[in-house]
Amino acid sequence: MASTEFGRMVRHRRDRVSPEAAGLPAGGHRRAAGLRREELAMLAGISVDYVTRLEQGRATNPSDQVVEALGRALRLSGAERERLFHAAGLVPPGQGTVPAYITPSVHRMLDRLSGTPVAVSDASWTLLLANPLYTALMGERQGRDRNGVWRAFVGSDGRVRHTSQSKIALETAVVSDLREAARRYPADRRLRDLVAELRAASERFAELWDAGAVGRHEASRKTIDHPVVGPLTLDCDVLSVAGSDLRIMVYTAEPGSRDAERLELLAVVGTQTLVE
């Protein structure tokens, strides 16, 4: 069965990837050098139970989104990623779809920026990978809320403060980006579905989409209201990767500032909930 082969591949690769290689701390006693199921589930954004059922061949027909997420979490090469898709009975995404592959060099960059909140998104602003400090800063994002355009119009940016001016600038920029992605990848079914859902869910999105809104992202300062360490005002920069449509969002604090101190505290606290 394809699901059995798929499960064996996931388990084999999980055993080969060290926590350090996946950007995780290696502390505590470990029976094996590889990733725990809980760690793989966290990195891929799926449940531990689902990882277990996939590895044991009890879950069949994983979606292409799940396969893509597992491939990223397991740091697969391009060839390994293709084999994983084939083992799941799926065709690897082709040239007509939004690229979601993260190169080893980008993975290494994120690993070296462990003290800085960093996230990687694709051309449609769907979150592909975030380091632990970014997740601690912004919180876990699941389902459609992993897409930045959806959050801007339908979901919630939750902890990020917006003025009316910054909100308009953000909306215009992400609609412009999404339109460009749709132009570049007309065969991407998930992208078409996202646009259709946004048009149905948000009159504001439909208005900007139909008007052909044009905007771009500028370096900015954002205030994030964190429930544990308090508000942090950080510089936000969006970087591009040469030869790729990946977008890297980086948050930094002015050295020696109160915001820098709170960011350091957040790195210690992580995603824990403090109890008085």
Whether 164 is covered by a domain: the verdict is yes
Range of the domain at 178: 104-269
Residues 113 and 83 in one domain: no
Average pLDDT, the chain: 87
Domain count, the chain: 2
Asked if 39 contacts 126 with a C-beta cutoff of 8 angstroms, the reply is no
Q: Enumerate residues 6+ apart whose C-beta is below 8 A from 14.
A: 34, 35, 37, 40, 55, 74
Asked if 98 contacts 190 with a C-beta cutoff of 8 angstroms, the reply is yes
pLDDT for 140-166, tens place per residue? 888 888 999 999 999 877 799 988 898
Q: Enumerate residues 6+ apart whose C-beta is below 8 A from 28.
A: none
Whether 276 is covered by a domain: the verdict is no
Residues 142 and 78 in one domain: no
Residues 143 and 240 in one domain: yes
Residues 135 and 264 in one domain: yes
In the 8-state DSSP scheme, what is residue 103? Answer: -
pLDDT for 36-61, tens place per residue? 899 899 888 888 999 999 999 888 78
- What is the value of pTM for the model shown? 0.75
pLDDT for 98-115, tens place per residue? 888 888 888 888 888 888
CATH of the domain at 52: 1.10.260.40
Residues 75 and 148 in one domain: no
Residues 68 and 118 in one domain: no
Q: Which helix (H) or strand (E) holds 41?
A: helix 37-44
Asked if 119 contacts 131 with a C-beta cutoff of 8 angstroms, the reply is yes
